[in-house]
A = this chain, B = another copy of it.
Amino acid sequence: MSLSSVDVIRIPTSGPGDTSGLIKLIETGRIDPKSILAILGKTEGNGGVNDFTREYSTVALAGVLASRLGISTEEVEHRIAFVMSGGTEGVLSPHITVFTRTPLPASQARRTEGKRLSIGIAHTREFRPEELGRRAQIAETAAAVRKAMTEAAISDVADVHFVQVKCPLLTSERVDAAEARGAGTVTKSSYASMGYSRGASALGVALALGELAAEPREEDVLRRWDLFSAVASSSAGIELMHNVVVVMGNSVSSSSDLVIGHAVMKDAIDAAAVRAALGSVGLRADGTSNAAIGERIVNIFAKAEAAPDGLVRGLRHTMLNDTDISSTRHARAAVGGLVAGLAGTTAVYVSGGAEHQGPAGGGPVAVIARA
């Protein structure tokens, strides 16, 4: 079995256009641009439709990597999965997380004890607009998850701890194109299509990982909140028409220094779940040492959302009725405060829009830490 070395590096940014941290790590040899598989980032926009910090950050990073790799930015964006999550509300600190993988030559290969962090990436085929939020997106995503697991050399679904999906959304042009062919889309609203696409993608993950009793039906999307994946995290973006799936788990084929674990927050204040996620990678969240914990954490990945029934543990929240601040911003701020408090660091990846990603009002929380 061939081994690979997987690394994850978190880099603070001073703005959405700041690539200086990445450049420095490339120049010092800490990061080999050829080894980069994916970059997940938190950028300081509003996380909504008019959040251009995601696009700006992707353009800036792809530009740097294009010049370093001697390829075009289009090729960079095809080779590397860029997932920018807008919104650093409250204490959240803007940063990027770079995922690298290097095959180890047999001579260098040194078996680590136990399973270690492994990453696999796969793409679905291009979708037609009318397929978003529907059966095709679910099924194709499931197939891509299985493919990415194979690439990551993870055979047991129990070893999968986080699946980041980047998925398309509808624009009026895409809706029109579908209608011109006589095909209706699941919604005509761009904003609403983001939820459908995220939700169907998450159900695809759940399907691949055996988290559902039966194959989900199209009409379950955004309705049957009891159907969800405990490890899916999906983000919709305008720049693609297929899904990109990044599977993260532990594998015997990895000689990484890192491990990953996860838990599921049942609601937005589920401190016990955050502690369980920390505990799953050997970090004691005993309430006295969160600064120390922060040192060992490479990053935490969590999804946040406002409970759709308007309640957290029986008490009313006001996130869904606020016409001034969108509920995703509220949810990221609150869950970010809790996760950062327990983890002892604020450069954590808390992302909004958790349809079928964890239970309603809750969400997955995964931790990558030094073994």
Q: Which residue numbers of A lie inside 8 Å of B, CB to CB?
A: 12, 14-17, 44-53, 55-56, 59-60, 88-95, 172, 190, 268-272, 274-275, 285-288, 290-291, 294, 310, 312-313, 315-319, 321-326, 329-331, 333-338, 340-342, 344-347
Contacts and interface: CB of A to CB of B under 8 A. Distances in A.
Given A52-B53, A294-B313, A316-B14, A89 B321 contact: no
A287 B275 contact: yes
Given A50-B324, A51-B323, A172-B310, 14 more contacts: A16-B56, A17-B52, A55-B56, A56-B56, A56-B59, A88-B318, A90-B90, A91-B317, A93-B318, A275-B287, A286-B287, A313-B346, A337-B337, A337-B341
A340 B265 CA distance: 14
Contacts of A329: 325
B271 A50 contact: no
Given A17-B59, A313-B344, A323 B47 contact: yes
Contacts of A272: 287-288, 290
A275 to B, nearest CB: 5
Nearest to A53: B52
A46 B93 contact: no
A340 B338 CA distance: 8
Nearest to A331: B90
A347 B311 CA distance: 11
B322 A50 contact: yes
B50 A44 contact: yes
Each complex incorporates copies of this chain amounting to 4
A352 to B, nearest CB: 11
A55 B323 CA distance: 16
A60 B16 CA distance: 14
Contacts of A269: 91, 290, 337, 340-341, 344, 346
Nearest to A286: B287
B322 A91 contact: no
Contact of A323 (B46, B53, B287, B346): B46
A272 B342 CA distance: 9
Contact of A271 (B172, B335, B342): B342
A336 B64 CA distance: 38
Contact of A287 (B285, B321, B325, B330): B285
Sort A-B residue pairs by CB-CB distance and give the 10 closest, nearest first.
A48-B323, A90-B334, A334-B337, A337-B337, A333-B333, A338-B341, A93-B315, A271-B341, A56-B56, A269-B341
Contacts of A310: 172
A325 to B, nearest CB: 6
Contacts of A16: 52, 56
A49 B324 CA distance: 10
19 contacts: A17-B55, A17-B59, A46-B324, A47-B323, A48-B324, A51-B323, A52-B52, A89-B325, A89-B333, A89-B334, A93-B318, A172-B310, A269-B290, A269-B337, A271-B290, A272-B290, A286-B287, A315-B345, A336-B337
Interface centre among A47, A286, A294, A324 (most CB of B within 10 A): A324
